[in-house]
Amino acid sequence: QQQVKQSPQSLIVQKGGISIINCAYENTAFDYFPWYQQFPGKGPALLIAIRPDVSEKKEGRFTISFNKSAKQFSLHIMDSQPGDSATYFCAACGVASGNTPLVFGKGTRLSVIA
Amino acid sequence: GAGVSQSPRYKVAKRGQDVALRCDPISGHVSLFWYQQALGQGPEFLTYFQNEAQLDKSGLPSDRFFAERPEGSVSTLKIQRTQQEDSAVYLCASSPARGGTGELFFGEGSRLTVL
């Protein structure tokens, strides 16, 4: 059973547009939700992360929105650029419950076209 | 550089051969993780070390997979009697924090192809 469900599988966005990727989870013990960015041939790199005590976190053009009651969180990329073209993974783990390992979604391949 | 280093970057093995994949974490990082990433999929957790102690190996798919970190630094993932379904990129990550909290720093991975 997949612990973190991510959608869409792929996304094409015009340069300057908004990219939105969604994730849903079931395990209520999860309390740490990072997003990772991966370029071809490279390992994933942390982009931004949120804990459930806030509903939104913004860093530059990247924003995480978190809905605890719905057990959903999303990544918004404002003013998307061709350099943002990569695969994005949402992830989750439980810290307070004893550090369950970080589990990843299946990824969203983003293509930003000029 | 001072990042996580993995070797070899590419490994081709014949079915039934044993392979060993090495991970050099960032110096001083307490936690070390191994993940398996199949083509077009997200990383799947294999095992976790805190210093030299293997605290979680629940993700290892079979007893053919073995990992060690004897001195709390370099780690080796060994796969015995490789099968075609073992073909994947094996990612190593380290973290200065205990457990899965905080940022994981990933290496570029070792791509294993089993023929």
- Give the per-residue pLDDT at A95: 76
Q: Which two tokens stand for residue A58?
A: 């913004």
- Quick one: average pLDDT of B36-41? 95
Higher-scoring residue by pLDDT: B102, A98? B102
Tens of pLDDT, residues B70-114: 999 999 999 999 999 999 999 999 998 877 667 899 999 999 999
Residue B1 has pLDDT above 60, yes or no: no
CA neighbor of B77 nearest in space, from B58, B64, B96, B95: B64
Q: What is the pLDDT of residues A64-90, one digit of tens each?
A: 999 999 999 999 999 999 999 999 999
Domain ranges of chain B: 5-114
pLDDT band for position A101 (50/70/90)?
confident
Chain B residue with minimum CA distance to A46: B103
Give the pLDDT score at A111.
98
- CATH of region B5-114: 2.60.40.10
pLDDT digits (tens, 9 = 90+) for B18-32: 999 999 999 999 999
Give the model's pLDDT for residue B2. Answer: 83
Q: Which residues of B touch A95 (CB under 8 A)?
A: 99-101
Instruction: Identify all chain B residues contacting A42, using CB atoms and an 8 Å cutoff.
Output: 108
pLDDT of residue A11: 97
CB B56 within 8 A of CB A101: yes
- Domain A4-113 -> CATH class: mainly beta
Residue type, A1: Q
Closest by CA to A72, choosing from A25, A109, A30, is A25
Query: Rounded to whole angstroms, how far apart are CA atoms A100 and B1?
Result: 30
Tokens 């939700």 correspond to what residue? A33
Expressed in percent and rounded to 5, the helix, strand and coil fractions of chain A are 5, 55, 45
Q: What is the pLDDT of residue A94?
A: 86
Does A95 contact chain B (CB < 8 Å)?
yes
Between residues A28 and A2, which one has the greater pLDDT? A28
Domain locations in chain A? 4-113
Return the pLDDT at B66: 97
Q: Which residues of A touch B109 (CB under 8 A)?
A: 43
Q: Write the residue in A89, A99, A106 that is nearest to B101 by C-beta.
A: A99
* pLDDT tens per residue across span B47-68: 999 999 999 999 999 999 999 9
